[in-house]
Structure 1
Amino acid sequence: SSAAPAMRFDELQLSEGTMKGITQILGYETMSDVQSKAITKVLHTSNDVLVQSKTGTGKTLCYLIPVIEKMVRSPPVAVGALILAPTRELVLQIVKEASQLLTHHPAIDILPLTGGTSRRQDTVALKRRRPQIVVATPGRLLDHLSSTFNFHSLFTGLSVMVLDEADRLLELGSIDDLRTIMTYMPKDKQSLLFSATITDDVREIATRACRANYMLIDCIPHDDIPTVDRVQQRYVTLPARCLTQVLYHC
């Protein structure tokens, strides 16, 4: 049997600015499998959701589109959305994609908080720009929460929190850091977690971040072969004296 046609973004009833960002700036018309499963579940509800999906499946839009639409429908007074990602590189990648989506939403600003800049630069940028969306690494966010005067007050009106690559957040950082961050965030918010694997630690963080009735959306096909098993690996045996020469020509 032939596969069902891919769902189109214009079926989602998005704001005009977001649709222009998707079609004109990013150049997308149809959704990936993960996007059609996750966005429809998250978009017009306040449900807490844990999504199991692999990297490279378009999952960033699964939370950026609902987050932006939430900010459009109910403009926050301070920070309305917080996105946590495991590395500086991923934070900047998320901000780049979000900025493209926000091209036709000039009233919504997004700010990265990562290592590599001084805390003072961050606080100046926060005061000057007053962003509605903050994308941060846990380390830098916790640094501010524990050391920058009254920093936690920025998040009192938070309506949605995203943990991207939750399994990597836990591998690269400490589960204690995430537990501590949760204590600063309001209870009455929507939580969206994305993870390639669902470990016991990911489940624990989901239990802390989400309300009891959170949904699990599995976007990994059951016959899918893990990435590590699909990577072809080869090796060559050679005399030690040839090693430098062979490496030079590789």
Structure 2
Amino acid sequence: MLPNEVKNLGYEKMTLVQEATLPAILQGKDVLAKAKTGTRKTLAFLFLWEVEVLLQRKKNLRQNRCEIIVATPTRLSDHIDNTRGFEGRLRDVNVLVLHEADCLLAMRIRKDVEKIIAAVPEQQQTLIFSATVPEEVHQFCHNALRKDHEFIDIVQESSEETRSQAQ
């Protein structure tokens, strides 16, 4: 069931990946979610953000805190290295979302992602979404996620992986 704040944005029901991940996300668990391209993985964590923003907007504005940062890992890494005071703003991060993890690691920017993970607080929640979860992503998640994270796989075993469908 969608929160009223999300319904007010025009969404009537959740997709399978949203329905499967939202309870774990709201419990504060780290999540690795595998779902095919086009299943609206992005909205699973954006729904959470919309609800949080509606609840925290006034408080955050008074404290001059960032509500959300959207950036490529390379650009965010560049800010950490070169923008005065930027790394200090990351100390308030509550949730780190890595979207399309398989693509991020395939693009050979793992060092940038690891720098970002090192810059945010250890107690923050990490959400990783990906269409495929090859061994490289599993190995990465071993270091990036808490040991009690949930792996949510809604790709049916009988169906093809997203990458093989796209080729």
Same fold by TM-score greater than 0.5? yes
- 1:188 corresponds to 2:123: yes
Q: CA deviation at 1:75?
A: 5.0
| 1:204 maps to 2:139 | yes
Q: Could you say which residue in structure 2 is the equivalent of 1:167?
A: 102
How far has the Cα of 1:52 moved from its partner?
0.7
The CA distance in 2 between the partners of 1:227 and 1:45, in whole Å, is 29
- Corresponding residue of 1:63: 45
8 Å Cα contact 1:182-1:208 kept in structure 2? no
Q: How far apart are 1:205 and its partner, in Å?
A: 2.5
Distance apart, 1:73 and its partner CA:
3.6
TM-score by length of 2: 0.86
Amino acid at match of 1:52: K
Taking every aligned residue pair, what percent have the same amino acid on both sides?
A: 32
Q: Would the aligned equivalents of 2:131 and 2:162 in 1 still touch at CA under 8 Å?
A: no
| Closer/same/farther in 2, CA of residues 141 and 161 from structure 1, 3 Å limit | same
TM-score norm. by structure 1 comes to: 0.60
Where does the alignment leave 5 or more consecutive residues of structure 1 unmatched?
1-10, 79-106, 108-128, 233-250
CA contact (8 A) 2:98 2:127 kept: yes
Counterparts of 1:223 and 1:74, CA distance in 2: 43
The residue that corresponds to 2:19 in the other structure is 36
Residue 204 of structure 1: how far off its partner (Å): 2.8
Q: Determine the structure 2 residue equivalent to 1:143.
A: 78
Contiguous gaps of at least 5 residues in structure 2: none
Tell me, in whole angstroms, the C-alpha distance in 2 between the residues paired with 1:209 and 1:227: 24
SS in 2 for 1:154: helix
Aligned to 2:34: 52
User: Shift of the alpha carbon at 1:167?
Assistant: 0.6
Q: Which has the higher contact order (CA 8 A, sep 6+)?
A: 2
Residue 130 (structure 1) shift = 5.8
**1:194-230 deviation per Cα after TM superposition (whole angstroms, max 9, x unaligned):** 1122223212322222111110000101111234554
Letter in 2 for 1:206: C
The residue that corresponds to 2:92 in the other structure is 157
Cα gap change, 1:230 to 1:54, in 2 (>3 Å): closer
Stretches of 4+ aligned residues off by more than 6 angstroms: none
Whether the 8 Å CA contact 1:48–1:192 is kept in 2: the answer is: yes
Give 1:30's aligned amino acid.
K
